[in-house]
Amino acid sequence: MLVVPSAMLSVVNPVKKRQFVSFYLPSINSKEALEFFIMIRAYDIILLGETMNNKIKNVLTKLEENGFQAYVIGGFVRDFLLGIASYDVDIATNARPNDIKEIFELNNSNEDNYGSVRFKDSLYNYDITTFRKELRYENRRPVDYAFIDNASEDVRRRDFTINSLYMDANGDIFDIVGGKKDLEDKIIRTNGNINDRMVEDPLRMLRAIRFASVLGFTIEDNLYNYIRQNKQLLRTLSYSRKKDELELIFKGQNKMAGIELIKSLNIEDALDIKIPDKLLYSSNALGIWAQIEVGDKYQFSNAEKDKIENIRKVLNYGIIDNVVLYECGLYVCIIAGEMLGMTTSYISTLYKELPIYSPKDIGIDGNDIIDILHIKPGEKIKNIIFDLEINILNGKLKNEYEELKKYILENWR
C-alpha cells in the first residue's frame, strides 16, 4: 500500500499537483498512482479553500452545526474522484425534510414527493435527502420508505458501488461496499444483491450501460449476464423512462460503446427498438434516433419528429446542396452532414451563401404573379413559387424581379 507523507497532502493547487504527480508518480506502479490520485482529490474536494468547494462545505457544516450528520454522496463523489466536473450535489443526512427546510430557510416548494429538498446557489444544484430505507416500490419507483438515522444502512439501498461513496466536510471518504476499488478497476458492480436492485427498478440495467459507456468502464460479469437473462424486466418500464435513459446514452461521448452494449446484451426487443448493423456516428442524439427503428409508444415532441424526419431525408438523399439546406435547415444539415463526412464549417458557409431562406425572400410574390399572368388565386400560384424557389436555389435564375417576371411569362403563361 502506498504511504504518502502528510506534507504531500498540501499539494492541491492544480498546477502544483500536476508538477508533483509527473515528478513523483513515475517511481511507483500505476495502482499506487491511482490510489494517491484518489487520495489527493478527496482532500481537494471541500477541505482546502477553493471557492467552489467552500460552497459545498458550508452546506454540510450548516447541517452539522444543527446537530445532524451530513455527507456528499453518489455521483458527485464518483465524478470528483475521476476528475470529472459536476454541479449536481447529492447530500444525505439524518435531518428530516422539515429540519432541512428550516435550516436553509426554504418552503414546501423545495421538497419533492419523495422527501428530498432541493435548492441552488450560484454554482451548484443541491438535492438533500434524509437517510432512508425503501420499503415498497410501485411502478418501479419507491413509494413507501422509512427515515432512518444510520448512514451505513442508507448506503445499502444505492444502485452501484461506484455511486455509494460518502464524503464528509473534512474530505474523508467512507466506503463500505468497495466503490473505490471498483473505480480503480473501472467496474460497474451492483451494490448488494443483483436481483433485488434490478427488480426494484429495472431502469438500473440501462443506467449500468450508460455509466459503462460514459466512464469507459466494464459491466461486471454477474451483472452483465443478469441483464442478458432478465431483459424482460425492461418491458415493465414506461416508454418515457426508457427514452430518457436512452437519450442520455445517445448524448454521451462514448455513445457507440453504449450502443454496442445494448446490441451485445441482446436487449433491443425488450426496449422496442431496432439498431441497424451499420450505425453512423453522430455527436447529436437526434442523429442516432434518426437511424433507429423505434416502437410507436415512444413519445417525441413535434419538433423532434420534424428534425428526425428531415435528418432521414438528408441521409437518404446522400448530399447537402442549396435545396436540401433550404428545405431542411442548417441545424438538421449539420447533424446529417457529420454522418455524411461533411464539416460544420463547410455546411455553414453553404448556408450563408444561400440566395434565399424562405419564399418571402423571392423577388416576386403571389400578388405579382396574379398581375403578371392575369389569373385568379389558386394552386397554380403555389406551383409557380415552388418552381422559382428551385431555380433560384440551383443558380438557374437570379432573384431579381425582371428576370423572374420574364421566366414566368415564358414558362407559365
Question: Domains in the chain, start-ordered, CATH in brackets?
Answer: 207-299 (no CATH), 302-352 (no CATH), 359-412 (1.10.246.80)
Q: Pull the grid cell for residue 233.
A: 424486466
For residues 198-231, one letter each, b for 16 or more C-beta atoms within 10 angstroms of the residue's C-beta and e for the rest, the string is bebbbbbbbbbbbbbbbbebebbeebbebbeebb
The CA distance from 399 to 136, in Å, is: 68
The CA distance from 53 to 58, in Å, is: 9
In three-state secondary structure terms, 387 is helix
In three-state secondary structure terms, 242 is helix
Stated pTM of the model: 0.80
In three-state secondary structure terms, 94 is coil
Q: Residue 49 CB: number of other CB atoms within 10 A?
A: 11
The CA distance from 261 to 257, in Å, is: 6
pLDDT, position 8: 35
What does each C-alpha distance from 152 to 116, 148, 162 come to in angstroms?
19, 10, 15
Count Cβ atoms within 10 A of the Cβ of residue 18 and give its class: 0-12 exposed, 13-18 middle, 19 or more buried.
exposed
pLDDT, position 109: 78
For helices 51-65 and 30-46, give the axis angle rounded to 10 degrees: 70
Q: What is the CA radius of gyration of the chain?
A: 29
The CA distance from 140 to 254, in Å, is: 27
Q: Residue 319 CB: number of other CB atoms within 10 A?
A: 9
**313-340 per-position pLDDT tens digit:** 999 999 999 999 999 999 999 999 999 9
Closest by Cα among 274, 280, 352 to 312: 280
pLDDT, position 23: 36
Going from the first residue of the chain to its last (413 residues), give the mean pLDDT of each consecutive group of 10, the final group possibly shorter.
Answer: 37 38 42 50 42 81 96 94 92 95 89 83 94 70 75 91 94 93 97 95 97 97 98 96 97 95 98 96 98 96 97 97 97 98 97 97 96 94 96 97 96 93
pLDDT, position 111: 78
The CA distance from 56 to 124, in Å, is: 8
The answer to whether the CB of 118 falls within 8 A of the CB of 112 is yes
The CA distance from 69 to 92, in Å, is: 8
